[in-house]
Chain A
Amino acid sequence: MTNIQRRKFLKYTGGSVALTGLAGCSGGGGSEETTEAGETTASEGETTASGGSGGDTINVGMVYALGGLGDKSFNDMAHRGVKQAAEKYDVEFQNAEPSGPSDFKTLQQRFAQSTSPDYDLICCIGFAQTSALKETAKQFPDQNFMLVDSTVDSDNVASYVFKEHEGSFQIGHLAGQITKMGFEAGAGKTNDAGKIGFVGGLEIPLIKKFQAGYMAGNKYAHEDNEVTAAYVGSWTDPAKGKEIALSMYDDGADIVYHGAGASGIGAFKAAQERGRFAVGVDADQSKSASEYKDVILASMVKRVDQAVATAVENVVNGSFKGGQINALGLEKNGVQPVLGQQLGSSVPDDVTAALEESRKAIIDGDITVPTKPGDV
């Protein structure tokens, strides 16, 4: 890689990071972005042109999923994970946000090729990077990668997958109980229809896992409960996500659970307009999208932050193992239903007790959660 190419690359990725930092300062409080502990800036990167920047600092390259930072769920969770590691250890990281699927490979390779700094770990966030990473991992056998939400069978890639269906089962179990019990809290109220809804982003096996677990949990709560499901066809169309949720609420649904990235924000908006409930995904969205905390009953939290932090920690401790698939389920709290910060306290104790029971049953293998909606 010539010096000019490197400069171009640093300008491209580093420039955006520097702006992120600036925005954090001028934005003034509130935003998570204000504490960018270990983030390098463009100028820093450009001055250390001779490779191997200072001492034992671990450098991490982050390639995010298409939803982008600020999606208040998936990418922000990954970002939080690397920030945690940066606060704890001598870790510096660079963010790269692709603007389209074709960028994945480019960004992965740019990090892998870079010698200033030499990246010790490249985190690839999201299933969509799988095929790109398959090639990149082969081209750079000495480079460590980690992949979230999918698997690549290669000695230098640590794969982290989540048992979303298990967490979603718990959400379905919670929603299935609430929809039958005359629940009223915050800005929402059920109409006891025994009906709940699911809004998906893209119709892909990963999101179908959410839907399947949710449907099974709902059935487990009450055999005759109904679920309707629809897909937006995009991660970034909140207007359509909202229309789908509205159609479900108008059809009598009490609770709508989304697995639709930024499109899912529309489901929260719809819940507020109709005075019903919604369930968030990936992060505790009653906190990350706190404008909607009066209708967010719970969130199916996927500890992407833990996956990223663990992978970085392993690199720091020299215990990074490629070729492994780490499946995080309810057992290790890799996925877990987290009650909303405002509405959580209103959820009756017998509901939470039932949730705890079904959680144990899943961990013990007494309940097998399907991964395909057709199997429910």
Chain B
Amino acid sequence: MAVARSREVTTMNRKAIALVVVAGVALAGLVSVAFFPAGSIAAVVAVVDANYLGAALRLTVPIAFAALGGIFAEKSGVINIGLEGLLIIAAFVGIATTYTVGGGQAAVWIGFAAAVLASTLFALLFAVVTIEFKADQIIAGLAVWLIALGLGPFTARVIWGTVNSPSVPTLNDWTVPVLSEIPWVGPVLFDANPTVYMLLVAVPLSWYALNRTAFGYRVRASGENPRALDTAGVNVSLVRYKSVLISGVFSGIGGAGLALGQVGQFIGSGQTMVGGRGWIGITAYLFGNYNPIATFGASFLFAALDALQIRIQQIPGLDLPGSLVRIVPFVIVIVVLALIGKTRLPSAAGEHYDSDED
């Protein structure tokens, strides 16, 4: 009873805090209207057009794919924080393979497939270490990231002599005739990179798989109550292996989408070209409470804010410090996660399951 009460209070507190935050944002908006010329506010609103939405969708691709992968792994009880590493591996292998094969679009697609394969194999390694050998999932996930962070640039140096690769072709946009002529919707949804279409298909498919299929039930049971699943005669380890492999496939598409869908080059210096998109992906699925559709929404929100800050920087007269504008997406993440988030981890997430059979 007392517990329930305190929970109620926390929820109320959270709601109150959320209200305060919203009020604060509104106030800041009013203040900005007062201090900045009305023209700049109109200019901020005016940046939201078809080009803007297209950019936001492109920026969403790597984040959302990593996040979708993370959902499957974590729902099954394996916390995969190595998503960033999987993105790096996929980006590198995609570029390296395309570079080696050489030639036009066919080579890019071969590179794409190789990237997904490499990421999946890496995920398999992670799965073996965590499921078979019961290594700590967080440590193993960090290892995946650190290994990728070292291995990508190192292998790049072996192949090209430098940590950055030469340029290779990228996937051509697919334009759907007629439909792409529709104002607003057309250029955003029907004249886009293939990886954007893949994402738009993968999101509802993931939702369906998790919520409406036997496999989805097993994944969720494996994360909530693996003992019950085992009792029902289902091999928990197998379900977890499959889920982690799915996270590898999705991350592979995300990393290849970044490298082969947009840039056509691997940059291995510093944090590599992936630059934290995998970590944002983790935040996105926590924010989306493991629901693929909400997670897509969260990823899109981050990407859209990023695309927005790019444009806000360019508005003349609106002289906000750029570095301040650039942190807006991350501040929102913290506010949302800390105050409004209702994320509930799967009960058995992070725990090993021992079937006691041997």
Contact = CB atoms under 8 A, between A and B. Distances in A.
Contacts of B167: 265, 269, 289, 291-292
A240 B265 CA distance: 13
A67 interface: yes
A31 B160 CA distance: 8
Contacts of B58: 243
Contacts of A311: none
Contacts of B313: 229-231
Contacts of B326: 231, 233
B310 interface: yes
B157 A20 contact: yes
Contacts of B134: none
B258 interface: yes
A204 B14 CA distance: 39
A203 B58 CA distance: 24
**A-side interface size class:** 35 or more
Interface stretch (B20-28, B77-85, B221-229, B270-278): B270-278
B310 A243 contact: yes
**B-side interface size class:** 35 or more
B29 interface: no
A356 interface: no
A238 B263 contact: yes
B323 A68 contact: no
Given A70-B162, A228-B316, A243-B307, A236 B267 contact: yes
Contacts of A251: 314
A247 interface: yes
Contacts of A258: none
B68 interface: no
Given A236-B270, A247-B310, A266 B159 contact: no
Nearest to B315: A228
Given A247-B311, A292-B167, A235 B270 contact: yes
B54 to A, nearest CB: 9
Interface centre among A23, A31, A70 (most CB of B within 10 A): A70
Interface in A171-186: none
A27 B314 contact: no
Interface string A59-74: 0000000111111100
A236 B275 contact: yes
A43 interface: no
A27 B163 CA distance: 14
Contact of A99 (B258, B270, B310, B321): B270
Contact of B310 (A22, A67, A238, A240): A240
Q: What are the 4 closest A-B residue pairs judged by CB atoms, nearest first?
A: A70-B162, A68-B269, A70-B164, A33-B161
Given A68-B163, A236-B275, 18 more contacts: A20-B157, A23-B157, A31-B160, A33-B162, A68-B164, A69-B163, A70-B163, A203-B321, A203-B322, A231-B326, A233-B326, A234-B270, A239-B262, A243-B59, A243-B310, A244-B310, A265-B167, A265-B265
